[in-house]
């Protein structure tokens, strides 16, 4: 049995460098907020209780944390990382187990790494710090070790030249049992250059109690923090690079990986093929052998086996393309269920629609789904043929096997197997053009 696990997510910072009206940790990477990344990380590593520390000024963070089902602790004013964790004390009252401290602006720590942190507390140490070795140790706290034991964390501005030369740095992730953590926090003071309560001081304090401290090393990419929009862009690119690699390794063909953008939840089956310049918004699932041609934008969409999409298609939330179906160039869909082998090959808008199996939707077909107040549904039966440039004024049903003449404005249901012609009948006036042209030429010559 593993020891119960809890996490505290620090998110009370001011994030001024982001230059944003939105709190930093609510900015998105790979389609979800950094706070959600860290929340999912804690959950995936088995944290049963997660407390988010927020400041009074970040009401948006508090709302999002509540939305994510986190417990809230308010830290006001912000007197340092130890003070931040202390403010979560009452939220953790009665919790017996191990506690990891995470930063909401450090979204990429992996489940495996956090697991190792918790595991170390269950096996061989009392306090664990996640370290890394950046190219530029800069202002990170330095981890001072002695024969495998962690003896102290020294903040860069307080370090001696020898300590500053240490490459091993503090990622910010620190873990101990709830009991040890809060016992040490009570003894942290602010007698330092910043006048703040440093969480990092708990290492020295717990060691003076005879407890053992250890560092665990993570990859630098895992612990990259985001402080500015430049960092945010770097984090997004790192995420995309990882997704592209994972897709390729899983057997998805990416024609030009650097131009294909994923969300954290994009699922693509083996042997699907993605052309250049394709963007996957949230909630896309693609079955095997499907082909997404270049320049498509997909969101909230399921693509069936061997379906063909694009080039230049925009599939919006609620789209389900059946196996072998097609949505070609300049086709937009929304809340549309397209049956197996049905085709929407060119220049259409199909919204709030159910299309059966093997139907053909001609070029330029539009579902007129919105009356200015409400949305209405269009149903197209199996094997129906919708002539080019049809307007289907919803709510309307086209029966199975029905045939719509081109250019119709269809306002009434069409029975199965019927032909519907919903346009003015053609009138041919013989000789009219010849007479007209002669008269006009004469007028022009006089001027």
Distance of alpha carbon 233 from alpha carbon 238, whole angstroms: 9
Query: Does the footprint of ligand UD1 cover residue 132 (CB under 6 A)?
Result: no
- Point out which span in 37-45, 71-79, 109-117, 309-317 binds ligand UD1 (CB under 6 A): 71-79
**Binder among 10, 109, 185, 284 for ligand UD1 (CB under 6 A):** 10
* 244 contributes a contact to ligand UD1 by CB under 6 A: no
Considering the complex, state which of residue 85 and residue 379 has its C-beta at the smaller distance from ligand UD1: 85
Whether 346 is a known active-site residue: answer: yes
**107 touches ligand UD1 (CB under 6 A):** no
Residue 103 engages ligand UD1 in binding (rule: CB under 6 A)? yes
Q: Which is nearer to ligand UD1, 78 or 342 (CB)?
A: 78
- Nearest residue (CB) to ligand UD1, 137 versus 383: 137
Minimum CB separation of residue 256 from ligand UD1 in Å reads 35
Measured between alpha carbons, how far is 24 from 30 in angstroms, rounded to an integer?
Answer: 15
The b-or-e profile of 338-348 (16+ CB within 10 A means b, else e) is bbbbbbbbbbb
Residue 139 CB burial class (10 angstroms; 0-12, 13-18, ≥19): exposed
- Scan for tokens 């009370």, then name that residue: 12
Is 169 a residue that touches ligand UD1 (CB under 6 A)?
yes
From CA 287, how far away is CA 289, in angstroms rounded? 7
Among 36, 64, 105, 341, binds ligand UD1 (CB under 6 A): 105
In the region spanning residues 183 to 222, those forming contacts with ligand UD1, defined by CB under 6 A, are 198-200
Q: How far is CA 205 from CA 122, 130, 188, 237, 366, in A?
A: 20, 18, 8, 40, 70
β-pairing, 291-292 vs 273-274, is parallel
Taking the complex as a whole, the smallest distance from the CB of residue 77 to ligand UD1 amounts, in Å, to 8
**Residues 6 or more apart whose Cβ sits within 8 Å of residue 382:** 339, 356, 357, 358, 359, 400, 401
- Among 62, 83, 211, 214, the residue binding ligand UD1 under the rule CB under 6 A is 83
For residue 12, state whether it binds ligand UD1 (rule: CB under 6 A): yes
Task: Give the residue carrying structure tokens 């549904």.
Answer: 377
Cα dihedral 19/21/22/25 (nearest 10): 30
Question: Contact between 128 and ligand UD1 (CB under 6 A)?
Answer: no
Sequence-distant (6+) residues with CB within 8 A of 50 are 6, 7, 8, 9, 39, 42, 43, 70, 71
Work out how close the CB of 274 gets to ligand UD1 at its nearest, in angstroms, rounded to a whole number: 36
Q: Does 226 bind ligand UD1 (CB under 6 A)?
A: no
Picking from 107, 127, 126, 117, the residue whose alpha carbon sits closest to that of residue 46 is 117
Q: Which of the residues 40 through 59 are near ligand UD1 (CB under 6 A)?
A: 53
Q: Which residues sit at the interface with ligand UD1, rule CB under 6 A? A: 10-13, 53, 75, 78-81, 83-84, 103-105, 140-141, 153, 155, 169-172, 198-200, 225
Could you list the active site residues? 346
């Amino acid at each position: 049995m593993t020891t119960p696990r809890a996490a505290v997510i620090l998110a009370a910072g001011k994030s001024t460098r982001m230059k944003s009206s939105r709190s930093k940790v609510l900015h998105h990477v790979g389609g979800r907020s950094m706070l959600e990344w860290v929340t999912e990380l804690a959950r995936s590593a088995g944290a049963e209780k997660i407390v988010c520390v927020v400041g009074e000024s970040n009401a948006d963070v508090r709302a999002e944390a509540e939305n994510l089902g986190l417990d809230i602790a308010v830290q006001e004013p912000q007197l340092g990382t130890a003070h931040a964790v202390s403010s979560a004390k009452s939220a953790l009252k009665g919790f017996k187990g191990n506690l990891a401290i995470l930063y909401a602006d450090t979204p990429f720590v992996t489940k495996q790494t956090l697991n190792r942190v918790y595991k170390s507390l269950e096996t061989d140490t009392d306090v664990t710090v996640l370290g890394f070795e950046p190219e530029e140790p800069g202002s990170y706290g330095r981890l001072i070790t002695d024969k495998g034991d962690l003896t102290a964390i020294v903040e860069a501005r307080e370090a001696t030249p020898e300590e500053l030369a240490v490459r091993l740095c503090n990622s910010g992730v620190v873990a101990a049992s709830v009991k040890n953590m809060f016992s040490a926090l009570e003894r942290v003071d602010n007698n330092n250059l910043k006048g703040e309560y440093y969480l990092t001081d708990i290492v020295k304090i717990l060691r003076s109690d005879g407890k053992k401290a250890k560092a665990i090393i993570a990859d630098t990419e895992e612990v990259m923090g985001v402080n500015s929009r430049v960092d945010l862009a770097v984090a997004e690119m790192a995420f995309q690079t990882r997704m592209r690699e994972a897709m390729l390794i899983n057997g998805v063909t990416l024609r030009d990986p650097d131009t294909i953008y994923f969300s954290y939840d994009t699922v693509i089956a083996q042997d699907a093929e993605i052309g250049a310049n394709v963007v996957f918004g949230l909630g896309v699932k693609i079955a095997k052998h499907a082909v997404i041609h270049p320049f498509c934008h997909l969101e909230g969409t399921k693509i069936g086996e061997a379906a063909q999409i694009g080039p230049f298609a925009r599939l919006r939330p609620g789209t389900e393309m059946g196996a072998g179906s097609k949505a070609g160039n300049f086709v937009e869909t929304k809340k549309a269920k397209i049956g197996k082998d049905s085709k929407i090959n060119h220049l259409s808008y199909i919204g709030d629609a159910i299309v059966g199996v093997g139907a053909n939707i001609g070029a330029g077909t539009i579902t007129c789904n919105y009356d200015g107040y409400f949305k209405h549904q269009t149903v197209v039966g199996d094997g129906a043929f919708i002539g080019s440039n049809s307007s289907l004024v919803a709510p309307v049903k086209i029966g199975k096997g029905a045939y719509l003449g081109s250019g119709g404005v269809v306002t009434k249901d069409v029975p199965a197997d019927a032909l519907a012609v919903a346009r003015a009948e053609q009138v041919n006036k013989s000789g009219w053009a010849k007479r007209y042209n002669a008269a006009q030429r004469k007028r022009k010559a006089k001027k």
